[in-house]
A and B are shown apart, each in its own frame.
Chain A
Amino acid sequence: MLGKFAVKKYLFSKGIDEYLTDVYNAYRFALQFFKEVFKPPFHFREVINQCYEIGLKSLPLITLTGFIVGVVFTKQSRPSLEDFGATSWLPSLMGIAIVKALGPLVTALICAGKVGSGMGAELGSMKVTEQIEAMEVSAINPFKYLAVTRIVAASIAIPLLSFYCSFIALLGSFVNVHNLEATSFVTFFHNGFATIKFLDVFTSVFKSIVFAFTIGIIACYKGFNATRGTRGVGNAANETVVLAMFMIFIEELVIVQVSNWIRYF
């Protein structure tokens, strides 16, 4: 009899309800960002600080990984092209692969790991130690000061890093090609960029901005919603990395599809 009149506690189940509520809150978080980003006051100094944190401090890691990606991808591609006696196409292949896909993707994945996790952990610890609430008490809009500045900084720094990563990867590819084919620097880059069109570069930049925005918004959302003390901080960092990487791959798929439409229209 009691079961008949009991109030239904969950709409679907605890897990599904929590997940859907999370989606809704993330949507509201993103909406709030777009509301706040164009409203004064603008914290330019904080944006520059975050650009320094995200961009400049990631340079060594991006340089190393970019160079290795260039070398490894060239080494992996050579045998296939050698079968057809087409190793002279390596610069073109590398140009297309790195500028269109590898550069933005590798940068985004590294930034999701380094920047995203750092941002999520930082904001998460601020949340669990009630620093964010303290800022509210101090008449500072914590969302604007902490989240908007970080997301904007990420959206500026990560595309620049992506360009840098592409250049370093091409440099790594050049080193490998030069060693084995004695191709000159000018010839390599001339052939490498010969097949790249404006649409490719535009897509690459757009992709990097979308990836950066995704990393920033997920990191900030997870940090702002961290709970359960230090464990929650760890969870926020971990979830940021996992979700950001997942979203990056989904976005990559969608953007490639859309860019191909535009290319063939």
Chain B
Amino acid sequence: MNEPSDKRGIIVGLFILIGISILIAGILIIGNLHETFKQKMKVNVLFEDVNGLQVGNNVWFSGVKIGTVNNMEFYGKAQVKVTFKIETKVQPYIRKDAKVKISNDGLIGNKILVIYGGTPTAGEVQEDDTLSTGKTFSSEEMMNTLQDNNNNLKSITGDFKIISKKLINGEGTIGKLLKDSSVYSNIDNATKSLQQASAKAQQLIASLSTFSSGLNKKGTLANQLVTDTVVFNSMKSSVLQLQQIADTASVFISDLKHAGNNPKSSIGILLHDEESGAHLKATIKNLESSSQKLDEDLAAAQHSFLLRKYFKKKEKSETK
């Protein structure tokens, strides 16, 4: 079986060995080929502190793994230039002004790069672009913040301790409120007054309600005043007319006053000239005596034979 001259067996054995080796290697390598065949692009970011980030760590965008950290090197004075590869299919979604921060994959997981933000107006990220960094909160900073909060909480609870002690001792306004019975009786009285006021207010509201229901009752004057546009319009026009009359009267009185002040006008003469006043008085007296005499003459005329018949007929018709 182990004859050295069995060349066919040796060659077939060699091919079987090579074939199995290739098969095993292929199976082991192909496991990662789906990553290899993906088209990727390089993007950079500069950090002051990478906080334990390593080559091979994942890159996330909107919670989806889109690439891995490819390289890290020192840059400038003490910065770290992190180069990461991301799938080109996500290129349209990542803008040039997007930010990158270092985060954790879970509470105790590996470090990851997180791409976030970006405005639609900024262009798509391009090969070898350098994105800006976002604010990263290290665990140390978080602990410091928590420590500050603890201190604040301590001082707040200390203050509360003092306040509660004063409350127990009946000091201060709230302490007196809790301890002093007279304050309670005052508040009680105030509450009673408020209750009475509330009852009155309720009555007032009831009256208003009745009044408003009266307003709403059709056919009443109030309802017509409120709802009938014709009545309203006529009232409006009446008010306007009154307004015009008042204006005219005002002008007339003003003119009259003006004329009264002028001693040369007729009214001014009547008001200010004594002689004219005396003449006017004498004229009125004459008119009075004239009208008296005319009255007597007319009474005499009634008894004349010319007019007596007319007045008798009139008397008869009135008695009927």
Residues of A within 8 A of B (CB): 9-12, 14, 17-25, 27, 84, 225, 250, 253-254, 257-258, 260-261
A12 to B16 CA separation, bound complex (whole angstroms): 16
Name the CB-closest residue of A to B7. Answer: A11
Residues of chain A with a CB closer than 8 A to B17's CB = 20, 23
**Chain A contacts for B2, CB-based, 8 A:** 18, 21-22
Residue of B nearest to A7 (CB): B5
Q: In the complex, how many angstroms separate the beta carbon of A203 from the nearest chain B beta carbon? A: 14
Q: How far is the CA of A257 from the CA of B27 in the complex (A)?
A: 7
What does DSSP make chain B's interface, helix, strand, loop or mixed?
helix
Given the complex, which residues of A lie within 8 Å of B156, measured CB to CB? none
Q: A84 contacts which chain B residues (CB < 8 A)?
A: 108
**Across the interface, which residues of B come within 8 angstroms of A20, CB to CB?**
9-11, 13-14, 17
Across the A-B interface, the 6 shortest Cβ-Cβ residue pairs: A20-B13, A24-B13, A23-B13, A24-B9, A20-B10, A24-B12
Answer whether residue B28 sits at the interface, using C-beta atoms and an 8 A cutoff. Answer: yes
A-B contacts counted at CB < 8 A amount to 57
Contacts of A260 in B (CB 8 A): 31
A18 to B13, CA, bound (A): 10
User: With a CB–CB cut-off of 8 A, which chain A residues contact B108?
Assistant: 84
Q: Closest Cβ of chain B: how far from A127's Cβ, in Å?
A: 12
Q: Which residues of B contact A14 (CB under 8 A)?
A: 4
Assess whether A23 is in contact with B16, with CB atoms less than 8 Å apart.
Answer: yes
Q: Tell me how far the C-beta of A255 lies from the nearest C-beta in chain B, rounded to whole angstroms.
A: 9
Q: Is B24 part of the binding interface, using a Cβ–Cβ cutoff of 8 Å?
A: yes
Nearest to A258 among chain B residues (CB) is B27
Q: Is the CB of A11 within 8 A of B1?
A: no
With A9-B4, A84-B108 as given contacts, are A254 and B27 in contact (CB-CB < 8 Å)? yes
CB of A21 within 8 A of CB of B9, answer yes
Residues of chain A within 8 A (CB-CB) of B14 are 20, 23
Nearest Cβ on chain B to A33's Cβ, whole angstroms: 15
How many B residues are at the interface, by size bracket? Answer: 20 to 34
Question: Could you list 7 examples of A-B contacts with CB < 8 Å?
Answer: A9-B4, A12-B10, A18-B2, A24-B12, A254-B24, A254-B27, A260-B31
Bound together, the chains give a CA A9 to CA B7 distance in angstroms of 10
Question: Which label, helix, strand, loop or mixed, suits the secondary structure of the A interface?
Answer: helix
Contacts of B10 in A (CB 8 A): 11-12, 17, 20-21, 24
- Report which of B1, B24, B30, B31 forms a contact with A21, defined as CB distance below 8 A: B1
Given contacts A9-B4, A11-B7, A225-B1, whether A261 and B13 have CB atoms under 8 Å apart is: no
Among B4, B11, B13, B27, find the residue whose CB has the most chain A CB atoms closer than 10 A. Answer: B13
Pairwise interchain contact A253-B28, C-beta atoms closer than 8 A: yes
Does B6 touch A at the CB level, under 8 Å?
Answer: yes
B13 touching A21 by the CB < 8 A rule? Answer: yes
Interface bits B2-39 vs A (CB < 8 Å: 1, else 0): 11101101111110110000001001101100000000
**Cβ-closest chain A residue relative to B5:** A9
B35 to chain A, nearest CB (A): 11
Contact residues in B for A12 (Cβ distance below 8 Å): 10
Interface centre among A10, A20, A21, A250, by most chain B C-beta atoms within 10 angstroms, is: A21
The distance from the CB of B185 to the nearest CB of chain A, in whole angstroms, is 58
Residues of B within 8 A of A10 (CB): 4
Known pairs A21-B3, A21-B9, A225-B1; list 12 more (Cβ under 8 Å): A11-B7, A14-B4, A17-B4, A18-B2, A20-B10, A21-B2, A21-B10, A21-B13, A25-B9, A253-B28, A254-B27, A260-B31
